[in-house]
Structure 1
Amino acid sequence: MNKVILMGRLTKDPEVRYSQGKEPLVVARYTLAVNRRFKRQGEPDADFINCVSFGKAGEFAERYFKKGQMVSIVGRLQVRSWDDNEGKKRWSTDVVAEEQYFAESKNSNAGNPAPAKQESEDGFYPIDESIEDDDLPFN
């Protein structure tokens, strides 16, 4: 099974190209900065992961994805190789996005004040302990 799920911030607007052929295909490339769960001294806090979207997904990325936006993608890992101009073998590993989602509200990316509750390192908000169990709809 080859499945990748990522959530991170776009490091810049997607770079878009169109494939050659009878029906040009949109190819959008972008990089996600994905926070590491554990941080060791001297190591970076995030990994920068190259992603690519084709066709309708590429059109979506071109139209809606912007630098700094938090997005989530589901896709597959793809490794490709080629010989460069000097005859050296080069390798590239990309995540081919099959599903793309916005991972934050529209207002939180527009410079509005942060929510009243403090977000934890793993991206979740604490439970409001003032709510009684009887008030929950699924008891």
Structure 2
Amino acid sequence: MGDEIFQAINDNSPIIAWIHNISLNQQKYLKSKIKNYDFGHNVRYLMFIYDNPNCSQEDLVNMFCQSKGNIAKILKKFEDVGYIKREINPQNRRKYMLNTTDKANELIPEFRQISKDWDRAVGLTDEDEEFKNRLREIAINGMKLLEDSQ
């Protein structure tokens, strides 16, 4: 790879472009390391469900800014191959709670390690907790801003 590939990332680039670049490159890296599982970048949804037991389809839609239809299709595939289970939410019978199965739970540590390896390789460390918290806060503020404007 020549330096021309990296010229697009410069001081004048908007920060959102940097964040988007980081996200896409992390997804591509993870996808390349787990290609034997045929998850592609959809593994991020499985990891989210694992990290957030009893989450809903709507939680995935909001977190990943994907359409309800797209998320439903991905969840259906995960359910069909035995990686997630849906249970009716007793507080709202029109919604489902999502959880990973034992089959998925066996794979998640491997995927988590690949993500941690990527973090370290690109320079994210345990000392970056304040930075991560600030990014999380910005993401939440962006979601609230969008919700308020609709």
TM-score by length of 2: 0.18
- Indicate the structure (1 or 2) with the bigger Cα radius of gyration: 1
Greater share of helix? 2
Q: Which structure is richer in relative contact order (CA contacts within 8 A, separation 6 or more)? A: 1
